């Protein structure tokens, strides 16, 4: 459920039914109505971002990997503005009936003091508390992981592109090995200089955007395993017949990342250059990955713009209270609804990092996957 939100409603005292026959006297909060649920998030104190990355990671893990309360797909999770789990709802027989039940549950949560406000959702409207469907039909992580790792022989690949040779007919390789071959080749040629530590998270992006499917096409006409727009493929000089070529896609994507790196490094250092080395490096990797989704221009605005940059400057000044992940999530969260930054942008890097963590369990060498060293 996305789109412009309806006004947030005030709930006054009444008798409410919560669950199976459980009665609760709903207390009046005297809470003021909001014109837009986004104000709940954007106007929240920056200090509330502490620990939000962990909350969001937990929820997204349940959704992507069908765990915990999402072990049954026919449910919706309800979450507060810090992405803490409030409860779940079993889906009704139809989407409209489910929506009606979600809105009633939102109203009851506000009446019971579980949240300060509530906003009804619709098919084109995000409600509050937030609702996430456990059923994500386009996010088959088991299949995506198999394509990335080549655990199914049908997903192994080989080929050539622009002088590069990846695998062979007798020894095909995984998509991960394909990508690493392209990165190493271009690095040896002196064509790329971005930190290689960003690659594992970037590989997670392949799983969440295309599922590693060669012929994937998005609603915006982004193509292939790296979901590259035609304009980007044109800039990379990839002929029409090779636009879905997986080595060509990987080559184009790392060239785009190098361009983003050259544009982002100075603005990033101007704001976060005083962070401890490890935290600075981790945050830069996260922002560089985010730039692939929202564009490097908007990422720079999150650092430099008078309005959008307020969150970044706060976190830079108070960095000791926040992890690198909290800072990235906080920057996006406090700018939701601005410059087309939406909930998908909020989930993007978290989802990619979750896939990266899952890759660490596949048996690949830790040093090449961004995994912690084995004990």
**Separation CA 312–CA 272 (nearest Å):** 8
SS3 118: strand
Amino acid 37: pLDDT: 73
Contact 90, 74 (CB under 8 A): yes
**Is residue 20 over pLDDT 50?**
no
Segment 210-229 shows an average pLDDT of 92
**Separation CA 165–CA 167 (nearest Å):** 6
Q: Quote the crossing angle between the two packed helices 277-294 and 296-304, to the nearest 10°.
A: 130
**Separation CA 38–CA 30 (nearest Å):** 20
Query: Which residue, 113, 64, 104, 60, is CA-closest to 85?
Result: 60
Question: In this predicted model, what pLDDT tens digit does every residue of 89-117 receive, in sequence order?
Answer: 999 999 999 999 999 999 999 999 999 88
Instruction: State the DSSP code for 242.
Output: G
**Separation CA 375–CA 372 (nearest Å):** 9
What percent of the chain is modeled with pLDDT above 90? 71
Could you tell me the pLDDT band of residue 39, with boundaries at 50, 70 and 90? confident
Amino acid 364: pLDDT: 54
Beta bridge partners of 22: 18
**Separation CA 135–CA 207 (nearest Å):** 17
Amino acid 9: pLDDT: 38
How are beta strands 14-18 and 22-26 bridged, if at all? antiparallel
Is pLDDT larger for residue 101 or for residue 17?
101
Question: In this predicted model, what pLDDT tens digit does every residue of 151-205 receive, in sequence order?
Answer: 999 999 999 999 999 999 999 999 999 999 999 999 999 999 999 889 888 888 8
Amino acid 15: pLDDT: 30
Set out the domains of the chain in order of their start, with CATH numbers.
14-133 (no CATH), 141-368 (1.10.530.10)
Sorted by sequence, the CB contacts under 8 Å of residue 170 that are 6+ apart come out as none
Please give the mean pLDDT across all residues of the chain: 86
Query: Which residue, 165, 168, 164, is CA-closest to 156?
Result: 168
């Amino acid at each position: 459920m996305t789109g412009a939100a309806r006004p947030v409603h005030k709930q006054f005292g009444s008798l409410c039914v919560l669950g199976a026959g459980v009665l609760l006297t709903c207390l009046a909060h005297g809470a003021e109505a909001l014109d837009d649920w986004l104000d709940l998030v954007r106007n929240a104190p920056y200090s509330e971002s502490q620990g939000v990355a962990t909350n969001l990671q937990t929820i997204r893990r349940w959704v992507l990997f069908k765990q915990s309360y999402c072990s049954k797909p026919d449910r919706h999770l309800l979450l507060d503005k810090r992405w803490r789990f409030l409860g779940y709802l079993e889906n009704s027989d139809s989407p409209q009936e489910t929506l009606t039940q979600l809105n009633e549950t939102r109203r009851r949560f506000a009446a019971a003091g579980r949240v300060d406000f509530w906003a009804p959702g619709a098919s084109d409207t995000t409600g509050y508390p937030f609702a996430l469907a456990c059923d994500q039909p386009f996010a088959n992580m088991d299949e995506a992981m198999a394509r990335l790792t080549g655990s199914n022989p049908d997903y192994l690949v080989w080929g050539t592109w622009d002088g590069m040779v990846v695998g062979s007919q007798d020894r095909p390789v995984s998509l991960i090995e394909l990508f690493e071959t392209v990165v190493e080749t271009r690095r040896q040629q002196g064509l790329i200089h971005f930190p290689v530590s960003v690659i594992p998270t970037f590989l997670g992006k392949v799983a969440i955007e295309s599922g590693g499917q060669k012929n994937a096409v998005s609603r915006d006409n982004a193509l292939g395993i790296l979901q590259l727009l035609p304009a980007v493929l044109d800039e990379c000089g990839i002929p029409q017949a090779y636009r879905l070529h997986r080595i060509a896609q990987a080559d184009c994507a790392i060239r785009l990342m190098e361009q983003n790196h050259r544009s982002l490094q100075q603005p990033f250092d101007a704001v976060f250059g005083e962070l401890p080395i490890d935290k600075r490096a981790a945050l830069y990797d996260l922002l560089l990955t985010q730039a692939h989704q929202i564009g490097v221009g908007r990422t720079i605005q999150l650092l430099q713009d008078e309005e959008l940059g307020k969150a970044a400057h706060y976190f830079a000044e108070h960095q000791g209270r926040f992890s690198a992940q909290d800072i990235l999530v906080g920057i996006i969260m406090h700018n939701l609804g601005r410059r087309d930054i939406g909930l998908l942008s909020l989930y993007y890097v978290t989802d990619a990092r979750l896939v990266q963590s899952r890759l660490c369990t596949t048996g690949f060498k830790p040093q090449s996957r961004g995994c912690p060293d084995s004990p």
